Structure formats: structure tokens, C-alpha cells
């Protein structure tokens, strides 16, 4: 009897290891590396995350085929309405593609606040698969992503800047001074 129980435990234990690895959060080192997807303007990948400017219909279909399950749109309500008039209603399109959709409108400086970073983190935490985060040109997506990495993934400001520079972040002061600048958060 004891031998049977031990055998069952040995058979079941690997299943727990496999399932825990499936839900394992991304490693910090994998988030430091950003790949530019050359065939699409302002489109980048870091681990299971895609960051981009406004995708077109074909890009959304491609993302679906790549296994993306959630789209987080950072464009303002006004931008979404204007885009829908000239192209398509993103939320309806994504519903037809069976992709989850979250809107976190970022319009004006009031949207650049800790609550916006928290909304992004909450959306990410509710989804285990691949995620697209986009705005119009990838600028807001880059800034919000950098803040998320600092606040929720234990990145230093300097590490987040390294990631941001691979996206759309420009730190012109370094160019102007011809020197690297180290930054930190002061409490």
C-alpha cells in the first residue's frame, strides 16, 4: 500500500512542476531584451509582450495567429472614435477575432499617474498568454511599460531606460552631454 502511494506521488509530482512552470512569471532577463519586428512600423516584442503603435486589420489577424489573447489599447476615447470613422472599430474587430480587449485611455498629463500603471498591471495579471500593448505610435506604450517594469518587475530606472531605448524612449540629455546618465527614484 505504501509503495502504491509513493508510486502515485512520483507520477503526479511532475504534473505539478509542469503546471507551475506554465504560470511562472517572466524572468527579468527576458524582459530586458526587445526585438523589433521589422515588417511592421513601431512594433516590438519583449518575451510574451508586444508593444506597438496602432495596428491595422492584418496585424491583428497576424497577432491572433501568433497566440496573442489580450489587446490593451492606451489611445484616448477621442482617438479611438476618430480611428473608427476612418478605419474600423477596434473593440468590435477584436471581439470578432475572439481577442480580449482592455482600454486604458491615456490623454493628457493626468493619465500619467500611478493609477494608470496599476490598471496596466491588473490587466496583465489577469491574462497568462501573449499580450499586445499599443497606443498610436508606441510612445505612451513605451513610457507606461517602463513604469510597469520599475514598479512591478523590480527594474531599476536605468534598466527600464535600457528597455525603453529599444522601443521609442529617447533620452536626448545623454546625447547633448555625450555621457551616460544614471537615474534613480528618490522617495
Lowest mean pLDDT among 11-15, 29-33, 49-53: 11-15
Residue 21 confidence (pLDDT)? 33
Query: Is the per-residue pLDDT at 4 higher than 50?
Result: no
Tens of pLDDT along 129-170? 999 999 999 999 999 999 999 999 999 999 999 999 999 999
Domain ranges of the chain: 28-177
In terms of Cα–Cα distance, which of 124, 180, 133 is closest to 151?
Answer: 124
Tens-digit pLDDT profile for residues 79-112: 999 999 999 999 999 999 999 999 999 999 999 9
Helix (H, G, I), strand (E, B) or coil at 38: coil
Among 13-17, 31-35, 170-174, whose mean pLDDT is lowest? 13-17
Confidence of residue 187 (pLDDT cuts 50, 70, 90): confident
Q: State residue 106's pLDDT score.
A: 97
pLDDT for the residue numbered 25: 65
Q: What percent of the chain has pLDDT over 70?
A: 87
Phi and psi, residue 101, nearest 5°:
-135, 135
Question: Pick from 40, 50, 47: which is nearest to 72 by CA?
Answer: 50
Grid cell locating 54: 496602432
Predicted confidence band at 27 (pLDDT cuts at 50, 70, 90)? confident
pTM: 0.85
- Rounded to a whole number of angstroms, the CA Rg of the chain reads 20
* CATH code for the domain defined by 28-177: 3.90.190.10
Helix (H, G, I), strand (E, B) or coil at 133: strand
How far is it, in rounded angstroms, from Cα 86 to Cα 80? 10
Share of the chain above pLDDT 90, in %: 83
Residue-level pLDDT at 48: 97
pLDDT one-digit tens code per residue, 41-78: 999 999 999 999 999 999 999 999 999 999 999 999 99
Q: What is the DSSP letter of 66?
A: T
CA distance 64 to 62: 5
Q: What pairs with residue 102 in β-bridges? A: 72
Q: Report the 10 Å Cβ neighbour count for 20.
A: 9
Amino acid at each position: 500500500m505504501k509503495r502504491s502511494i509513493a508510486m502515485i506521488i512520483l507520477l503526479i509530482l511532475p504534473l505539478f512542476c509542469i503546471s507551475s512552470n506554465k504560470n511562472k512569471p517572466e524572468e527579468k532577463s527576458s524582459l530586458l531584451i526587445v526585438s523589433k519586428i521589422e515588417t511592421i512600423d513601431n512594433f516590438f516584442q519583449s518575451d510574451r509582450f508586444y508593444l506597438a503603435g496602432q495596428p491595422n486589420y492584418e496585424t491583428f489577424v497576424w497577432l491572433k495567429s501568433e497566440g496573442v489573447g489580450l489587446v490593451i489599447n492606451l489611445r484616448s476615447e477621442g482617438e479611438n472614435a476618430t480611428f473608427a470613422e476612418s478605419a474600423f472599430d477596434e473593440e468590435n474587430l477584436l471581439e470578432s477575432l475572439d481577442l480580449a480587449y482592455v482600454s486604458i485611455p491615456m490623454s493628457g498629463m493626468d493619465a500619467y499617474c500611478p493609477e494608470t500603471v496599476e490598471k496596466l498591471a491588473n490587466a496583465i495579471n489577469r491574462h497568462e498568454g501573449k499580450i499586445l500593448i499599443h497606443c498610436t505610435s508606441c510612445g505612451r506604450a513605451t513610457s507606461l511599460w517602463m513604469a510597469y517594469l520599475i514598479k512591478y518587475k523590480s527594474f531599476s530606472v536605468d534598466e527600464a531606460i535600457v528597455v525603453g531605448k529599444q522601443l521609442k524612449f529617447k533620452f536626448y540629455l545623454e546625447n547633448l552631454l555625450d555621457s551616460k546618465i544614471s537615474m534613480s527614484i528618490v522617495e
